[in-house]
Structure 1
């Protein structure tokens, strides 16, 4: 498992499973000859996308960013449509670190689409129960409302199986939420109405987790947004705010979906100056 230190914060990427989605959908209006130079594509025009939660550890506290694709949460048809070739191994990853799911203090959800939220619940004796029994689950108020009341478009990704068992653990916020000093969630909208990003700062070091505003390193261009985005112009506006300022400060940008990099530092010319490559087995 890859790790990164940001000041006093320790980040570890867990194994949350993998999907393969249409490359055109993942890069929107960007022509394939451009995006395919940045990110490999298979013969089905799919790109590999991890769903790997980030464990953040700080002074004995354990926070999880996202929850993975889950186990047995997708039927055969969904697995085929979403190119799922591996499901979550979160419990095994935590066990390697001497932890259990019950040790997680909070789960920080950038948004609640199925590929981020399916790991929040698990099957136990033919019943769906909470995976992280002792955790507060943070999400923006807008996101939580749509999760429970999806529209004709979003009902394909907001599933009751992912929220009914955990609703008493959810704590929402409107604009920003300081989880602990140095760790903050910020509502941005864009990918979904309630989408949020994470900002982490300690001892002069900084990291921004852009969620699905920048799902892979190839989405660093502020204009390269997803066809899946509900509000693409908002995605662009938010990327214009966070990416250029981050480049000036040499912040780390971390990823949930990237199959090749866990985190990257770029300079102002978008050249990689530091990176945490994903170890591919």
Structure 2
């Protein structure tokens, strides 16, 4: 498991699953001739995307950024359509560092699409139960409202089995919330109406988790938005704002979906100056 230390914040990437999606959908209106230079694809035009939660440890507390693909939540058709080749093994990842799901103090949900939220609950007989029973679960009030009241488009990704069992654990906020000193969740919108990012600042040290408004290192260009974005113009403006700040601070950008890099750091001109590569293996 790859790790990164930023000030007093320790980040460890867990194994949350992998899927393969159409590169054109992931890069929106950007021509393949351009995006294919930035991110690898296979002969079917599919790109590899991780769904790996980040264990964030600060001040003796354990936080989880998003929750992975989950287990036994998708139908055979969904597994095929979403190109899921591997589901979550979060419990095994935590066990490898001496923790269990009961040691997670809070889950920080950037948004509640199925590929981020399926790990919140687990199948128990004919019903579902929380995975992180001792954790508070944070997301924006806008996102939580849409999760429970999806529209004709979003109902394909906001699933009842991912929210009903955790109602009593939810904590929502409007514009932003400070989780612990230096760590903020900020409502951006863009990818979804309630989408959030995370930023941690301590002196000169900083990381920014852009979630799905910059899901991979290949999405660094401020104008490149996903076809999956509900509000792509908002994504572009928010990305511009937080990329400008990150470049100025030479912040680390951390990734949930990137199959090649866990984190990348850029200088003031947007040139890469440091990286944490993901240890890769081949899928059979």
Name the TM-score class by shorter chain. over 0.9
Name 1:84's counterpart in structure 2: 84
Inter-partner Cα distance in structure 2 for 1:125 and 1:77:
22
Inter-partner Cα distance in structure 2 for 1:48 and 1:193:
25
Name 1:138's counterpart in structure 2: 138
TM-score by length of 1: 0.99
Name 2:215's counterpart in structure 1: 215
Inter-partner Cα distance in structure 2 for 1:177 and 1:249:
21
1:268 positional shift = 2.5
Q: Which runs of 4+ in 1 moved over 2 A?
A: 124-127
The answer (yes or no) to whether the contact 1:188–1:194 under 8 Å persists in 2 is yes
Inter-partner Cα distance in structure 1 for 2:124 and 2:169:
18
Query: What is the RMSD of the two structures over their aligned residues, measured on CA atoms?
Result: 0.8
Q: 1:239-278 maps to which residues of 2 (within 5 A)?
A: 239-278=239-278
Name 1:48's counterpart in structure 2: 48
Inter-partner Cα distance in structure 1 for 2:276 and 2:63:
20
Any unmatched runs of 5+ in structure 2? none
Q: 1:5-154 maps to which residues of 2 (within 5 A)?
A: 5-154=5-154
Name 1:160's counterpart in structure 2: 160
The answer (yes or no) to whether the contact 2:11–2:54 under 8 Å persists in 1 is yes
TM-score by length of 2: 0.98
1:115-142 per-position Cα deviation (integer Å, ceiling 9, x unaligned): 0000000112332100000000000000
The answer (yes or no) to whether the contact 1:8–1:203 under 8 Å persists in 2 is no
Inter-partner Cα distance in structure 2 for 1:197 and 1:118:
19
SS at 1:146's partner residue?
A: helix
SS at 2:164's partner residue?
A: coil
Inter-partner Cα distance in structure 1 for 2:268 and 2:219:
16
**1:227 lines up with 2:214 in the alignment:** no
1:270 positional shift = 2.3
